[in-house]
Amino acid sequence: MTPLEALQRITKFTEENIAPLLSMRKELELSGDVMDMSEAKPEYVHPAVTYGTIPHKNFQPFDFQVPMILWTFDETSDNGDYTNGRSVNFRAYVGAYSSEVYADENTKLPDNKAFVDLVNALEKIYIELSRRHTINGVGREKPISYGIYDGAYYPYAYGWLTFTAEIGRMEYDEGDIIDEIC
């Protein structure tokens, strides 16, 4: 199995078994009838699930489909032993949206509902992954870690979840790889 095949399997598992369990706040779409953010009613949806990568580090994390779960991998290693396969470090980026409404008009503190949705989503992903030693044929190893990204992204909140998986040994002819690259 390649890292991409494993990533596709993990994404499919997340889309089918985790995303339907999550109900997260969707970005507000103000209509002509609603001019005040405090009058807008939040809509709750399941997060979009895909795999890939977030653009370069200078790219601002706005205009993404939020809420979202985006799977990628950080690195792969054969651990110096070509007979036992490879380990891959997988990462999920999770994005949530707040309501752009103050929790208290007097203090002007944000409502932080994105933070609540984010922490709940990360915990649900953690629970569902920790219940399984394999995820669609991908052998998960311990530990599973998660956390949040600090930054001025309000009304968005972003977090991450990582784990390592064993993807098995690849049998290939070196000539085939060189032919495909050229």
**Helix locations, 84-161, DSSP H:** 113-130
At 76 the pLDDT is 86
pTM surpassing 0.95? no
The model's pLDDT over 19-57, given as tens digits with 9 standing for 90+, comes to: 999 999 887 765 555 455 556 677 889 999 999 887 655
Residue 87: CB partners within 8 Å, gap ≥ 6?
Answer: 76, 77, 78, 79, 141, 164, 165, 166, 167
Please report which confidence band the pLDDT of residue 65 belongs to, taking 50, 70 and 90 as the band edges. low
At 53 the pLDDT is 83
H-helix or E-strand containing 109? strand 109-110
Q: What CA–CA distance (Å, rounded) separates 66 from 141? A: 29
Q: What CA–CA distance (Å, rounded) separates 30 from 51? A: 30
The topology (CATH level 3) of 3-181 is STM4215-like (3.30.2000)
Q: Which among 7, 98, 114 has a CA at the least distance from the CA of 50?
A: 7
Share of the chain above pLDDT 90, in %: 41
Q: Which among 155, 101, 96, 99 has a CA at the least distance from the CA of 123?
A: 96
H-helix or E-strand containing 91? strand 86-97
Lowest mean pLDDT among 41-50, 86-95, 101-110, 155-164: 101-110
Could you state, in order of their start, the residue ranges of all structural domains in the chain?
3-181
